[in-house]
Amino acid sequence: MTKRSTYDVPRAIDWVGGLDGHAALIDQTLLPGKLEIIECHAPETVWHAIKRLSVRGAPAIGIAAAMGVVLGVRDHDEDDVAGFVTRIRGVCDYLAGARPTAINLFWALDRMRKVGESADELGVSATKQALLAEARRIREEDAAMCRAIGEAGLPLIQDGVAVLTHCNAGGLATAELGTALAPLYLAREAGRKFSVYADETRPLLQGARLTAWELGRAGVDVTLICDNAAGACMAAGRINLVITGADCVAANGDVANKIGTYSVAVLAAAHRIPFYVAAPSSTFALDKPTGAAIPIEERAAAEVRSGFGAMTAPKDVRCFNPAFDVTPARLLTGIITERGIISPVREEGIRELLSASATCPDSCAPS
Ligand code: MRU
């Protein structure tokens, strides 16, 4: 039998070449059946890739958007500084409209906008190079933060543990390794024996199509369950830890994540099972006091009625399809960040940790 590598996920998103290059992203809508790359040469391609979830997961969305900014301004007239700054702002506003919930999108665009605004001093040509460097840095920093999250969460993954995860917060959702899945990959590397239950995650099946695929490639012992089997698995003692990702963490610790996360957290509390969220500092929004301030994306009814082509409901039945929900901080055992675990989850602890890591910490600074 061939030995499988521990982490074997192709890069979800990368930049290929220099300023005249392109963003290359895996079309995640086709997984696990096909592994195809979309080459993005224009911001419109990036916008559509984010909208239709070809690239998805909060950190990967932020990285894609940063690269989309480069694509949107790189052909700008070198002598037109004022027009360049206006254009940067326009491209950022355009990309910000792709999806509303993942805060990393707005966080990355803010970084790109700030670099773009330095064109007054740097000139257009140097600013274009600075924008490309910033987009690449956002990607590299994310990879480093994911590894640091993995290290912070590793002590939770002891021999014999069975972990439930929801949606996909793995390598496909980030630069590399993932957030919720990073401790699992590092535990596998360390030779620990554990198992994972992956919720299939209706309606778009990120758990079935993506999490089961990437954990399986790494040789992790993974079992796929229907979302509505989670409670029964907990009651039967099959699960003793939950880790999910996050799309946005409010100042008080409320967490927006894939629809169904809240139900899993309620179930975990009912069964006294520790429930952790893994998130880099780029996913926190301290300007949002509670989860009530986080915009929740609503997606098309067709995803519920006829996802993946088969009619599974009457074609005109009314549907409500929120893509995310908010899990209140009181249901969290802890938040695993690149700086360590915040537990208990309280605003003071969050602010204290983030003030120490406003930028990527030394321990995870990219080389
Ligand atoms: O709609 P998606 O697939 O973009 O939703 C993704 C999630 O909810 C993830 O859990 C979250 O973005 C964290 S990814 C590290």
The two counts, helices (H) then strands (E), for the chain are 13, 14
Token pair for 253? 């610790």
Tokens of 41: 């040469």
Please report the pLDDT score of residue 201 as a whole number: 98
In this prediction, residue 367 has a pLDDT band, given cuts at 50, 70 and 90, of very low
Residues 188 and 177: beta-carbon distance below 8 Å: no
Torsion of CA 55, 289, 344, 172, to 10 degrees: 0
Gap between the Cα atoms of 162 and 223, Å rounded: 10
pLDDT of residue 5: 58
Pick from 142, 179, 202, 258 the residue to mutate for probing ligand 1's pocket: most ligand atoms within 8 Å of its CB.
258
**What's the pLDDT at 309?**
86
Report the alpha-carbon distance of residue 28 to residue 131 in Å, rounded: 26
Asked if the model's pLDDT at residue 261 lies above 60, the reply is yes
Residues acting as catalytic residues: 247
173 lines ligand 1 (CB under 6 A): yes
Which pLDDT tens digit goes with each residue over 122-168? 999 999 999 999 999 999 999 999 999 999 999 999 999 999 999 99
- Judge if the beta carbon of residue 257 lies within 6 A of ligand 1: yes
Q: What is the mean pLDDT of the chain?
A: 95
Write out the two tokens for 147: 């590894």
Q: In what order do the strands lie in the sheet with 248-250?
A: 284-285, 248-250, 255-258, 324-327
Q: Identify which of 108, 355, 109, 139 has the alpha carbon closest to the alpha carbon of residue 251.
A: 355
Statement: residue 35 has pLDDT above 60: yes
User: What is the distance, to the nearest Å, from the Cα of residue 88 to the centroid of all Cα atoms in its chain?
Assistant: 24
Please write the tens of the pLDDT for every residue from 85-109.
999 999 999 999 999 999 999 999 9
DSSP state of 66: H
Tokens standing for 198?
């992956």
CA of 298 to the centre of ligand 1 (A): 14
| CB-CB contact of 119 with 134 (8 Å) | no
pLDDT for 6 beyond 90 = no
